[in-house]
């Protein structure tokens, strides 16, 4: 069964446009509630299933929270409300409070005009495809509220923030602290605005917190993990030792050293893996994606660390980790998964793993990262006719083969279709920036010509 609404990270879209409307979200809450009540959740006799709802700081969160609550209550499910809370915090609290599911209202790194709904299971993991399909199937059924005596109730979880702060701190070694470090943390005016600063402060750091004044409209706006320039400027201005930038829902992180040099998710994963390898703490290898920089793969090989690539998306990285029984993986965007610390990607906990390596080694972030330099990478999007398959074109195959032969082991070529638009993404990377630029432009032009020929063929009647 193909999912109509659920993508790789829940349901997401522009607020006020289908499916992110109050009407749809009420039905979504009701359908999810019915799936919960119809499943064996090991509840005691007479006990009602309960779900936690958290959200980021978007103004639309109030509206969608109320709609979800109404739908769940109509289905006979109790609702716990945490208020603004990072996505990984909802995953943790769902598990810690022994609830049947967790729901996050967030569009992650997107602008405030967007919002979304994503679910976590009782174990703090993303829902299986089959469960999401069951929820979608229920959207076609009429909404019929339970009898009044069986309606769900709602209450606030007043200590949610404190619980999560303590959980994050527990992932940092007890014998170490952050005293003597001045850290700038950019919370993107998002869900970590009351959490990231206190975590670092309580571990001993001198903290300069920015992006901590959400107004419902400024989440991710020229700040956070998707706009590193703001962090770089703040680190230099405050003469900080380290900078940490999170995205709107707290599951992504990028960092800077004291000079304001940015380090993306690929580099941070490498640093964590190297530190764990040196200390005998690395279980298995590292999972990246098709877009992970080749320099990281080669660097890990030199350290005798296995590496494997998943499709783009933290969901697929997690699946690969589970298949291989590994613990560490992620993406260049800053989604980093440390399965020995949490069930999902967590920006704060990932930053703490990097800080652990810094404190344990006595080296700076720049020193730790000095042995790996990212290869130049160029990505060109080529618009193509709907249904166009680049792998069926001999001209494209020939151009790709020529590029791979020229780049040899010092580079690679990746062609992949966009999952949301009629585009072929042409990505070339390698040690030589000149070669990367040349082959990216040449292959993109070949793809463009092949697509044009396909359009002409379709236009000519038989």
The token duo for 12 is 């997401």
CA 173 to chain centre: 25
Neighbours of 49 (CB within 10 A): 21
- The answer to whether residues 64 and 71 touch, using CB atoms and an 8 Å cutoff, is no
* Residues 117-152 as b or e (16 or more Cβ within 10 Å = b): bbbbbbebbbbeeebbbbbbebbeeebeebeeeebb
Q: Which residues contact 124 (CB under 8 A, 6 or more apart)?
A: 91, 92, 94, 95, 102, 342, 343, 344
Kindly tell me the burial class for residue 38, based on how many C-beta atoms sit within 10 Å of its own C-beta (0-12, 13-18, 19 or more). Answer: exposed
**Annotated binding site: which residue ranges?**
108, 247, 249, 251
CA atoms of 122 and 230, how far apart (whole Å): 37
CA atoms of 257 and 53, how far apart (whole Å): 36
Rg of the chain over Cα atoms, rounded to whole angstroms, equals 23
Q: Among residues 114, 90, 121, 124, which one has the least CA distance to residue 104?
A: 90
Residues annotated as catalytic (active site), given as ranges = 108
Is omega for the bond preceding 19 within 30 degrees of 0, making it cis? yes
The pair phi, psi for residue 377, each rounded to 5°, is -140, 135
Q: How does strand 262-263 pair with strand 242-246? A: unpaired
CA atoms of 235 and 223, how far apart (whole Å): 13
Q: How does strand 114-121 pair with strand 11-14? A: antiparallel
The token duo for 412 is 């690679």
CA atoms of 149 and 298, how far apart (whole Å): 62
CA atoms of 162 and 92, how far apart (whole Å): 12
CA atoms of 134 and 177, how far apart (whole Å): 46
């Amino acid at each position: 069964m193909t999912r109509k609404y659920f993508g790789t990270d829940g349901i997401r879209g522009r607020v006020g446009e289908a499916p992110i409307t109050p009407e749809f979200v009420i039905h979504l809450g009701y359908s999810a509630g019915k799936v919960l009540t119809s499943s064996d959740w090991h509840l005691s006799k007479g006990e009602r299933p309960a779900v936690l709802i958290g959200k980021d700081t978007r103004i639309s969160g109030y509206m969608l929270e109320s709609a979800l609550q109404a739908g769940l209550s109509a289905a006979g499910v109790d609702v716990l409300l945490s208020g603004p809370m990072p996505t990984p915090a909802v995953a943790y609290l769902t598990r810690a409070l022994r609830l049947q599911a967790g729901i996050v209202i967030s569009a992650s790194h997107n602008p405030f005009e967007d919002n979304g709904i994503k679910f976590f299971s009782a174990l703090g993991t993303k829902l299986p495809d089959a469960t999401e399909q069951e929820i979608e199937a229920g959207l076609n059924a009429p909404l019929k509220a339970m009898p009044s005596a069986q309606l769900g109730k709602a209450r606030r979880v007043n200590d949610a923030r404190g619980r999560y702060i303590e959980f994050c701190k527990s992932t940092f070694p007890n014998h170490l602290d952050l005293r003597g470090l001045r850290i700038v943390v950019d919370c993107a005016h998002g869900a970590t605005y009351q959490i990231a600063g206190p975590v670092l402060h309580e571990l001993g750091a001198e903290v300069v917190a920015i992006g901590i004044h959400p107004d419902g409209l400024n989440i991710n706006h020229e700040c956070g993990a998707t706009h590193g320039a703001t962090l770089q400027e703040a680190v230099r201005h405050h003469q900080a030792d380290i900078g940490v930038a999170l995205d709107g829902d707290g599951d992504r992180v990028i960092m800077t050293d004291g000079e304001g040099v940015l380090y993306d998710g690929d580099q941070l994963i490498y640093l964590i893996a190297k530190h764990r390898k040196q200390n005998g703490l690395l279980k298995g290898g590292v999972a990246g994606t098709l877009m992970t920089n080749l320099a990281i793969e080669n660097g890990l090989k030199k350290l005798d660390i296995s590496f494997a690539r998943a499709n783009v998306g933290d969901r697929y990285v997690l699946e690969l980790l589970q298949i291989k029984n590994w613990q560490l993986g992620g993406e260049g965007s800053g989604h980093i998964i440390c399965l020995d610390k949490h069930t999902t990607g967590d920006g704060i906990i990932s930053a703490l793993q990097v800080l652990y390596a810094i404190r344990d080694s006595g080296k700076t972030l720049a020193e730790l990262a000095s042995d790996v330099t990212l290869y130049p990478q160029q990505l060109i999007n080529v618009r193509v006719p709907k249904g166009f398959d680049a792998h069926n074109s001999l001209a494209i195959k020939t151009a790709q083969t020529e590029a791979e032969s020229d780049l040899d082991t010092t580079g690679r070529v990746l062609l992949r279709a966009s999952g949301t638009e009629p585009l072929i993404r042409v990505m070339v990377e390698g040690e030589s920036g000149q070669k990367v630029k040349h082959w990216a432009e040449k292959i993109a032009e070949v793809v463009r010509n092949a697509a044009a020929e396909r359009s002409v063929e379709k236009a000519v009647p038989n």
